[in-house]
Amino acid sequence: MKKNQRLIAEIKKERTLVLIKPDGVERGLIGEIISRFERAGLRIVGLGIVKPNKNLIDKHYPKTKEWIENLGNNLLKTAEELKLKVDLKKDYGVSNVYELGLKIREWLINFMCSGAVVKIALEGPHAISVVRKLVGKTIPYLAEPGTIRGDYSIDSPLLANLENRPIKNLIHASGNKEEADYELKLWFKKDELID
Ligand code: ATP
Ligand code: MG
C-alpha cells in the first residue's frame, strides 16, 4: 500500500521545463501557449519572465558531439527531403556537420539572449512526453497541425541557416527526464517552485 502511494506521487509529480523563446514572446503568444498546457491538464509549478545572459544559455544547451551534429544533420535531412543539393563548404563555409552544428549553437545562444524568455515549470503524469507532444516537431514546417509549433510557426533549417540564424520554433521543451532535472535546476531556484 505504502509503496503504491509512493509510486502514485512520483507519477503525478513528473516535472518538465518549457521556455517560450524570444520569437514567441515578441509575437504575443505567451497567453495562447500557456493556455494549451493548462487545457491539457498540466499544473504550472513555476513561472517567470527573464532576459537570459549568454552564460545561462550556454549552460542550457548541451555540448556533446552527438547533440551538436544533430543540429547540423537537421539541415541535411531537410535538403534531402526537398531534393536540394547542399555544399557545406560553399554554402555555409564549414567542412563538416559538426562545424555547422557549432555555428548553429552560437546562433541559438545569441538568439535566446536577444529578448525576453518565459520560463515555465509544468507538472503532471508523463509531463515530459505530454509537453513534447503538445509542442510538436522541432522543424516547424514538419510539425503537425494542432501542435503549438504546427499551428504557429513555419520555419525550416535550410532557410534559417542561409540567413545565419536558428530555426524559430517558439518553444523549448525538455527532451527527457535527465534534461528536465538539469534544466529545472538551472532555471529555477528551489523556493521558486510550488510544492
Ligand atoms: P528544444 O530543445 O528547443 O525543445 P528540440 O528538442 O525539438 O527543441 P533540438 O534538437 O534540441 O530540438 O534543437 C534545439 C534547438 O535548436 C531547436 O529548438 C531549434 O530552435 C534549433 N535548431 C535545431 N536544428 C537546427 C538547425 N539545423 N538550424 C537552425 N536551428 C536549429
Ligand atoms: Mg532539445
pLDDT digits 0-9 by tens, 173-193: 999 999 999 999 999 999 999
Which one of the ligands is nearest to 164 CA?
A: 1
Predicted confidence (pLDDT) per residue in 79-100, tens digit: 898 898 989 999 889 999 999 9
All residues at 6 or more sequence positions from 118 whose CB lies less than 8 Å from its CB, including other chains? 19, 20, 24, 25, 30, 34, 47, 48, 49, 50
Look at residues 80, 106, 114, 113 and name the one whose alpha carbon lies nearest to residue 161.
106
Asked whether residue 46 carries a pLDDT value surpassing 70, the answer given is yes
Q: Is 126 a catalytic residue?
A: no
**Global confidence as pTM:** 0.95
Who's near 76: CB < 8 A, 6+ residues apart? 86, 97
Does residue 140 have its Cβ closer than 6 Å to ligand 1? no
Supply the angle between the helices 177-187 and 127-135 in degrees, to the nearest 10: 90
Mean pLDDT of all residues in 136-142: 96
Instruction: Write out the three cell numbers for 178.
Output: 535527465
Residue 172 Cα to ligand 2 middle (Å): 7
Domains and CATH numbers, the chain: 15-192 (3.30.70.141)
User: Of the listed 36, 105, 119, 172, which one is catalytic?
Assistant: 172
